[in-house]
């Protein structure tokens, strides 16, 4: 069972300032959460297989293949402007 001292300790660790009403509220809420966790611990999961994905995941990407390989000279022939073997582009301010 969660006590107000526990809530104060967690609030101190989180550097939170809580009012008395908030301490009462969070004590009840954290207690409810822990009761729910205890209830979940009672569920028999011995015959459930571990999963890494919720749904079946299949890779639909294709392999990368070079279809057409161009030389540097062919590529530079398409450049509107070129300098020292590189594309020349306008300066960005």
Cβ atoms of residues 34 and 2 within 8 Å: yes
pLDDT, tens digit (0-9, with 9 covering 90-100), for 60-72: 888 888 888 888 8
Q: pTM score, two decimals?
A: 0.48
Share of the chain above pLDDT 70, in %: 100
Closest CA to 18 of 33, 34, 36, 6: 6
Specify the DSSP element, H or E, that contains 76. Answer: helix 72-77
Which pLDDT score, from 0 to 100, does residue 77 have? Answer: 87
pLDDT, tens digit (0-9, with 9 covering 90-100), for 23-44: 999 999 999 999 999 999 888 8
């Amino acid at each position: 069972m969660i006590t107000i001292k526990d809530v104060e300790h967690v609030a101190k660790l989180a550097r939170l300032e809580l009012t008395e009403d908030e301490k009462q509220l969070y004590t009840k809420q954290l207690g409810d959460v822990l009761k729910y966790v205890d209830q979940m611990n009672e569920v028999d999961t011995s015959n459930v297989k571990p999963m890494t994905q919720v749904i079946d995941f299949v890779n639909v990407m294709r392999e990368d293949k070079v279809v057409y390989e161009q030389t540097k000279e062919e590529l530079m022939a398409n450049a509107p402007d070129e300098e020292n073997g590189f594309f020349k582009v306008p300066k960005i301010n």
